[in-house]
Amino acid sequence: MKKRKIDFLLDNLLKRTAGKLLLCFGFWVVPVLVQGQNAKEIVMRMDKKWRGDYVTQEMTMTIIRPTWQRSISMKTWGRGMDYSMVYITAPAKEKGQVFMKRNKEMWNWVPSIDRMIKLPPSMMMQSWMGSDFTNDDLIRESSVVRDYVHSIIGAEEILGRMCYKIKLIPKQEAAVVWGKVILWITKEDDLQLKIEFYDEDEYLVNTQLLSDIREMGGRVIPCKLEMIPADEEGKKTVIDITSADYRTEVKESFFSQQNMKRIR
């Protein structure tokens, strides 16, 4: 009872103080809010365009190191934020494996042993098949819209296109490994062309460059993604999108364990 009362008082006090602060600093607080709203809207538009309502893609990921490289190819299906499926098509060693995400849950189907393995969340932050991408980067558990606070910090030209430079700071409760993310999004058509990932001590960890902008499957998208670890000469992971379809609906019912065993 007592605690409730204290909570109520604290709550009231905060509201009143906030109200006063807003009155005092209203002149500049309001434009910042508007600008914050703009930054969020730009990121939302970019994310919607990039992700689409649903998308089917084929891609090849190549891990490049100074003395060697390894490739893995896959087909992917996505519906909004919450549903995705990945089918490995090459190399032969991994072919046939399937990963599925439904909301917060993820499964891995291993056909050679007829085994459905439920993947715990701790596996999400692990590097995907030894690349510079994490499971999270590919399955996209965290959201650039939902999990961050956004602000425009400038404008720069990339690949001859004028871009907003937007800073993303993760929300306290968000399950994000980064301390800060900076996005470059084209002013004209909401495409992200560059992403910088910083750790909690504000050191640059990875840079992602997006290029080869073309029409594919009904949208103009960057078809080449490069993830470059900072301070590591000659190392990167490249994803080439070889086909995409944003037109054909991928139904929610597609993302089932039954279908994991059937797709190819």
Partner 1 sequence: MKRLTCIVLVLSHISFAQDGGDFDFKGYLKYLSSANFQDVDEPWITDQLLHNRLEFRYYPNEKWTFDLEMRNRLFFGQQVTLLSSIDTLDYPGFIEDDGGFFDLSHNWASGKSYILNTTIDRFFADYAAGNWQVRAGRHRINWGQNLVWNPNDVFNAYSYFDFDYEERPGTDAVRLQYFTGFTSAAEFVYQLGDHIDEMSFTGLYKFSKWNYDFQFLGGLVKRDLVIGTGWSGDIEGGGFRGEFTYFHDKDSLSDPVGQLVASISGDYTFPSSLYLHGSVIYNSKGATEKTGGINPNVLTETSAKNLTLARMNLFGQISYQISPLWRGDLASILNPYDGSFFVGPGASYSLADNMELLFFGQFFGGDEGTEYGGIGKLFYFRLKWAF
* Contact footprint for partner 1 (CB under 8 A): 63, 65, 68, 70-71, 90-93, 95, 102, 104-105, 107, 112-123, 125-127, 130-131, 134, 177, 252-253, 255-258, 261-262, 264
Residue 44 or 64 with smaller CB distance to partner 1: 64
Residue 47 or 136 with smaller CB distance to partner 1: 136
Residue 129 or 159 with smaller CB distance to partner 1: 129
- Give the Cα separation of 103 and 255 in Å (integer): 10
Measured CA to CA in angstroms, residue 210 lies from 35, 36, 154 at distances of 25, 25, 19
Amino acid at 165: K
Return the residue matching tokens 């089932």: 256
- Give the Cα separation of 132 and 236 in Å (integer): 7
Cβ neighbour number for residue 23 with a 10 Å cutoff: 9
11 phi and psi angles, rounded to 5 deg = -60, -45
CB of 90 to partner 1, least distance (A): 8
CB of 215 to partner 1, least distance (A): 29
CB of 81 to partner 1, least distance (A): 17
Residue 36 or 229 with smaller CB distance to partner 1: 229
CB of 203 to partner 1, least distance (A): 15
Report strand pairing: 219-229 vs 236-245: antiparallel
